[in-house]
């Protein structure tokens, strides 16, 4: 039961991580939202995040000459990194044999580097 929950968590983390990485890549091209573009453009979730950030960072009496798309891209990249990291941690927590194999491979690599004459 717990192993299947771990596997479901890994799949969710990796799927969300892939979507967020893809969203970060797509956010680069959103200078002008054109509703006539075919799917996946425009992404409604990215547009909502951009509009929310635009309201949070007002122009303060001046003309605002930039949008918030670079910040949307950085937020998506950061969230993607967090999701991939969570997936890796859950993977190593779910499969102790994988942890032991990684530890053994690391020890072997260190021994081979240390035993090689300079």
* Tens digit of each residue's pLDDT (9 = 90 or more) over 85-115: 988 888 878 787 777 788 888 888 888 888 8
In this prediction, residues 4-28 reach a mean pLDDT of 85
Tokens of 30: 């959103």
The whole-model pTM stands at 0.67
Task: Write out the two tokens for 33.
Answer: 């939202």
Q: How many CB atoms lie within 10 A of CB 99?
A: 13
pLDDT in tens, 22-57: 888 777 766 555 556 666 666 778 888 888 888 888
The stretch 54-80 carries a mean pLDDT of: 83
**Residue closest to 21 by CA, chosen among 42, 46, 53:** 46
Does residue 26 contact residue 41 with C-beta atoms inside 8 Å?
yes
53: domain range?
2-115
In the chain, the number of structural domains is 1
Q: Tell me how far apart the alpha carbons of residues 107 and 103 are, in angstroms, rounded to a whole number.
A: 6
pLDDT of residue 5: 84
């Amino acid at each position: 039961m717990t192993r299947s929950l771990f596997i479901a968590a890994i799949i969710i983390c990796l799927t969300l991580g892939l979507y967020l990485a893809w969203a970060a890549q797509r956010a680069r091209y959103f200078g002008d939202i054109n509703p006539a573009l075919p799917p996946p453009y425009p992404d409604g979730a990215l547009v909502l995040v951009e509009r929310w950030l635009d309201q949070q960072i007002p122009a303060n009496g001046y003309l605002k000459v930039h949008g918030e798309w670079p910040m949307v891209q950085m937020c998506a990249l950061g969230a993607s990194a967090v999701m991939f990291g969570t997936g890796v941690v859950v993977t190593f927590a779910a499969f102790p044999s994988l942890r032991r194999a990684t530890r053994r491979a690391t020890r072997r690599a260190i021994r081979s580097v240390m035993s090689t004459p300079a």
